[in-house]
Amino acid sequence: MRHLTRALIRRGLLGAAAAVLFLVAAAPAFALTNPDVTINQQVGGESTRFTFTATTDKDAPVSALTLRFPEGFDIRKAYANVVTLQGLKRTTVKASTSVRGQDFQLAFDPAIGPGSELRVMVYSVMTPNVGGTYALGVKYESGGQQRSAEGADLTFSYVTASRSVKLSRYVDQQPWVAKWNSVTALNLFLKPQLIVTSAPLMFTGWLMSLALVGVGFPLAIIGGLMLAFMKMSKIPPLRWIAAAYVNVIRGTPLFLQIFVAFIGLPIAGVHAPWFVTGFVVLALNSSAYLAEIFRAGIQSIHKGQLEAALSLGMTYPQAMQHVIVPQTVKRVLPTMTSEFILLFKDTALLSAVGVFELMMYGSNIVARSGNLTPFVVAAVYYLLVTTPLINWVGKLEARLALAEHGQGAPEPKRRSLWDLLATRRALTRPAIEAEE
């Protein structure tokens, strides 16, 4: 959670949280000759509140105060709230304010007594878009004299708004957005401001999900092939081990396996980086499913194929490599792809143990914003991967049908994954059998 909070602060999504942190860090009162100023907003280009604290001189009361804001600050709508603190007693001071150019002028009636702790809060100050370090000019009238704050720590800093924050502000100002957001469902699921701010953040999570499955799936293919050949082995113990493994993995939820890996392993003294634990547990899980897919694929090849290869003097491994497996690959590619799709979607389960993948980002921003838009953004990111894959499988199947059933095979219509899974069984029958 801490990582994300930091990330969100950096991108200015969490203005409120940032302000809290900043105020906690603010220094206590200084003498007016050594005053301090804080700003309750880290990101530029927004309406913000300044807090100016100081201790008035001991020799005379203060009757007026001028705060000169740097060029670029818009104080036309600014207003102020002034209090003095004496011990625990907090007194509101009557102050008349006026704005002249970059000067924000306050006149106190009655004047503030000597040695008071003064706190001036100026609201609705628009900071410039470009962040940086700025200094506040301070002058005050005391005992009929104009004085300047001396040796003052009157500088403050803020950051330039990120592109997504600027975009969000821009979107915020569009008239259609207000209308759009007035429809509850649209506001709840498709809030434009949240789309533009959460999409770049969640991109990082999307990459993480892809990386997890990108490393895990190739490992699962290797493991799945090993398990498939173990299951078809002539050596009984190999068969038993593979069968037991496949049954246990396929018979228990991935969720449980993730918990065992992420909570059990550290207790057992195994400390791996969470990314490693993540892709390993995905690979271990998927290899069991792939083993069954491969085994079924290999066994679906007509036994005459193996006999023909052997009768030509090929060894069993040669027959597997050059005759059986190439045919198997073509046949299992669609099922393998849907297994990949399943595994990619299952990376979401890793959010339950704190892995920062797509779903984790989504649910965190949802928790912060109280709006479901990030879930929709996450869905789009998932579909970005799964939809082209499903289409690709369709084209692949068409090519396969053409190769196995001749040029006369009809061009398949647009097909869904369901149709593919259903027709796969028909396709796995060799053309030879159909002629028999």
Partner 1 sequence: MGKPVVRIRDLRKSFGTLEVLKGVDMDVQKGEVVVILGPSGSGKSTMLRCVNRLEEPTSGEIWFEDTLVNDAKTNINQVREHVGMVFQSFNLFPHLTAKGNVMLAQRKVLHRSRTEAERVAEEQLRKVGLGDRMDYFPAQLSGGQQQRVAIARALAMDPHVMLFDEVTSALDPELVRGVLDVMKDLARGGMTMLVVTHEMGFARDVATRAVFMDGGVIVEQGAPADVFDKPQNERTQDFLGHIR
Provide the binding-site residues for partner 1, judged by CB under 8 A. 302, 304-305, 307-315, 318, 322-323, 326-327, 330, 403-407, 430-433, 435-436
Calpha distance 173→48 (Å, rounded): 18
Pick between residue 90 and residue 429 the one whose CB is nearest to partner 1: 429
Q: How far is the CB of 421 from partner 1 (least distance, A)?
A: 21
Residue 64 tokens read as: 């007026």
Pick between residue 74 and residue 404 the one whose CB is nearest to partner 1: 404
Q: How far is the CB of 333 from partner 1 (least distance, A)?
A: 12
b (16+ CB within 10 A) / e for 141-168: bbeeeebebeebebebebbbbbebbbbb
Q: Measure Cα distances from 372 to 72, 184, 272, 281, 341 in Å.
A: 37, 11, 33, 29, 24
Pick between residue 151 and residue 326 the one whose CB is nearest to partner 1: 326
Pick between residue 219 and residue 400 the one whose CB is nearest to partner 1: 400
Q: How far is the CB of 375 from partner 1 (least distance, A)?
A: 44
Name the amino acid, one letter, at 420. Answer: L
Look at phi and psi of residue 389 and say left if phi exceeds 0, alpha if psi is from -120 to 50, else beta: alpha
Calpha distance 189→342 (Å, rounded): 25
Compute how many other C-beta atoms are within 10 angstroms of the C-beta atom of residue 174: 12
Q: How far is the CB of 391 from partner 1 (least distance, A)?
A: 24
CB 36 within 8 A of CB 27: yes
Q: How far is the CB of 307 from partner 1 (least distance, A)?
A: 6
Pick between residue 186 and residue 320 the one whose CB is nearest to partner 1: 320
Q: How far is the CB of 408 from partner 1 (least distance, A)?
A: 8
Residue 69 DSSP class: P
Q: How far is the CB of 404 from partner 1 (least distance, A)?
A: 5
Q: Checking DSSP bridges between strand 95-100 and strand 103-112, what pairing results, if any?
A: antiparallel
Pick between residue 88 and residue 434 the one whose CB is nearest to partner 1: 434
Pick between residue 367 and residue 431 the one whose CB is nearest to partner 1: 431
Q: Measure Cα distances from 260 to 176, 265, 353 in Å.
A: 49, 7, 10
